[in-house]
Amino acid sequence: MKKIYMDHAATTPVDKRVFEVMRPFFSDKFGNASSIHAIGQEASDALEKSRKKLASVLNADPAEIIFTSGGTESNNFALKGTAFANRKKGKHIITTKIEHDCVLNSAKWLERQGFDVTYLPVDRYGLVDLNELEKSIRKDTILISVMHANNEIGTIEPIEDIAKIASERNIYFHTDAVQTTGKLKIDVKRLNVDMLSISSHKLFGPKGVGALFVRSGTKIDALLHGGGHERGMRSGTENVAGIVGFAEAVKIADKEREREMPRIAKMRDKLIKEILDNIPDSYLTGHPKKRLPINASFYFKFIEGESLILKLDDKGIEASTGSACSSKSLKPSHVLLATGLKPEDAHGSLRLTLGKDNTTEEIDYVIKSVSEAVEELRKISPFKKSFEKV
Amino acid sequence: MYSKKVMELFRHPHNMGKIENPDGVGKVGNPVCGDVMYIYIKVGKNEKGEEIIEDIKFETFGCAAAIATSSMITDMAKGKTLEEAEKITRDDVANYLGGLPPIKMHCSNLAADGLKAAIADYRKKKPIKPEK
């Protein structure tokens, strides 16, 4: 059976062109970038070239790029590093209820270290309320961290407005751009952010590598201490092959973005429209307009998401859900609950995230298959009309 | 993640649906947790005159484990006397399925409870015959 991958917000395959530029750095150009002999310097050159490549796409200075092991490390680094470096100035941090777990759990850990954290609510579309943000700012607020776009529902947050509010009050602003890099234009000067997290494997690069942009002059402590790599900000022998691939993937994504994203958004719009039209009691999650071009997310009443994912998998379609039944915890998606969904509805969620290899024929097949899978599960479900009291 | 047997019953569940005018219904679970099971039974008598599960069907809202355990218990209980059927435990159901992921043992393995609830519902409704 042909497989249709529609889980690009989870991860993406490595682009063949990316793999080709990485290949020599495994067995031939294997040097340690800290070594002074020729093969070490070759690695060091490749590393610095990659840094320049990434900086140029982001409109940043190469010295403002710190390579990390990925989105989770970048977000941990931004929150913990800024909190500890600025704790004499204040102990208050503002973030949102819909951040990725790596931000939320870093924030919770900081609370246990004596910091105060405000978790901003969002509206039914997942948008942060700027008035709420302004109201929550205190004299001792040192950091605001709001994601650029949400990974589950695709809502794009007004981060330029948030950056303005933060900079006017001299508060550091970090954004998690793991979902947006390669899909939206990322210009750190225009966005006016102090820190920005990126992950490679979301944009057709290899896993295990990412970066944190840190604006020059930002007070931040290192997370990993050791031999002083990345100018002392992130010790550990650099993942040269990964970094070379990552920078190439960012370059390709940026170059092809203006051509690819409108095409993908068109397929996404068809997917949303026809699923909502064809399936009774189906609803869109996230913002109808301000959303990632790759994201189509829904919930279907009377059925549970994990079953839906497995039914779709049987039909060759790879997708994901925010249902608790597919997660390690027993709570449904914190993002869907924050948008006001009832837990029983959040259990029926489906996220389809498109990539450059998806085709319009696949979209038609997915629409048909989702309709069938929902119908099959509703046949088994005791809830045909509405949730009855149990 | 799931055993072959779980996936087989999830894909092709046995005894799915509703029984019209059932003798007992067991409703267990909670939509908030993502698993709800309705077990319907029809009670008959065997040649010894003992009460048996003559027919059993289910309707389930939930994950693959919830659907598979529902299907499993209908096969396990059909034809059994009420006393035998009541003795089926959650662990029995999981063992027949070749095991369940640990997290599903707690939340989705509700079928044995559903069957017990259906039998209790039947006993509650049954008119008490005067003793001779």
HSE (side-chain half, CA atoms, 13 Å) at A217: 4
The one catalytic residue among B55, B107, B113, B123: B107
**Cβ separation of B34 and A347 shorter than 8 Å?**
yes
How far, in Å, CA of A229 to CA of A134, rounded? 38
Among A219, A253, A287, the domain boundary falls at: A253
Percent of chain A past pLDDT 70, that is, above it, reads 98
Residues A264, A208 share a domain:
no
Instruction: Indicate whether A236 and A108 sit together in one domain.
Output: yes
**Residue A121 and residue A236 share a domain:** yes
Q: Are A261 and A183 in contact (CB under 8 A)?
A: yes
Rg (CA), chain B: 15
B38 reaches A (C-beta below 8 A) = yes
Chain A nearest-CA residue for B38: A382
pLDDT exceeds 70 at position A4: yes
Residue of A nearest to B13 (CA): A380
**CB B65 within 8 Å of CB B2:** yes
- Band of residue B120 on the pLDDT scale cut at 50, 70, 90: very high
A376 and A353 in a common domain? yes
Give the domain CATH number at A344: 3.90.1150.10
Which residues from A are below 8 Å from B31, CB to CB? 343-344, 347, 383, 387, 390
Question: What average pLDDT does this structure show over A327-331?
Answer: 74
Among A230, A253, A276, the domain boundary falls at: A253
Q: Which residues pair with A299 in a beta bridge?
A: A283, A349
Kindly state the percentage of chain A with pLDDT values over 90.
95
**CB contact (8 A) between residue B32 and residue A343:** yes
Domain CATH code at residue A238: 3.40.640.10
Total count of domains within chain A: 2
Report the C-alpha gap between A289 and A279 in whole angstroms.
Answer: 21
At residue B21, the pLDDT reads 95
Q: Model confidence at B130, in pLDDT bands (50, 70, 90)?
A: low
The catalytic position among A20, A237, A325, A343 is A325
Residue A247 CA to residue A23 CA, distance in Å, equals 14
Closest chain A residue to the Cα of B114, Cα to Cα? A390
Size of interface A-B (CB pairs under 8 A): 73
> How many angstroms separate the most distant Cα atoms in chain B?
56
In eight-state DSSP terms, residue B17 is S
Q: Do B62 and B37 touch, CB atoms closer than 8 A? A: yes
Q: Do residues A319 and A376 both lie within one domain?
A: yes
Residue A386 lies in a domain: no
The pLDDT confidence band at residue B1, using thresholds 50, 70 and 90, is: confident
* Residue A376 is assigned to a structural domain of this protein: yes
Rounded Cα distance between A284 and A271, Å, is: 11
In this prediction, residues A232-243 reach a mean pLDDT of: 97
Is B27 within 8 Å of chain A by CB?
Answer: yes
Assembly ipTM: 0.93
Classify residue A118: in a domain, yes or no. Answer: yes
**Would residue A61 count as lying in a domain?**
yes
pLDDT value of position B129: 65
- Give the torsion through C-alpha atoms of A289, A377, A8, A268, to 10 deg: -30
A211, part of any domain: yes
Residues A125 and A227 in one domain: yes
Examine the fold and report which residue of A226, A253, A280 is the final residue of a domain before the chain moves on. Answer: A253
- Verify that A284 and A370 share a domain, yes or no: yes
A323 belongs to a structural domain: yes
Residue B132 has pLDDT above 70, yes or no: no
Rounded Cα distance, A158 and A173, in Å? 13
Longest CA–CA span in chain A (Å) reads: 73
Residue A45 lies inside a defined structural domain of this protein: yes
pLDDT over 90 for what percent of chain B?
83
CB contact under 8 A, A307 and B34: no
Based on the fold, state whether residues A93 and A40 are members of the same structural domain.
yes
Domain region containing A233: 16-253
Quick one: which of B36, B101, B27 has its CA closest to A344?
A: B36
* B63 belongs to the catalytic site: no
What is the DSSP code (8-state) at residue B106?
H
> All domains of chain B, ordered by start, with CATH?
4-122 (3.90.1010.10)
CA A358 from centroid of its chain's CA atoms: 20
Q: Looking at the domain assignment, is residue A202 inside a domain? A: yes
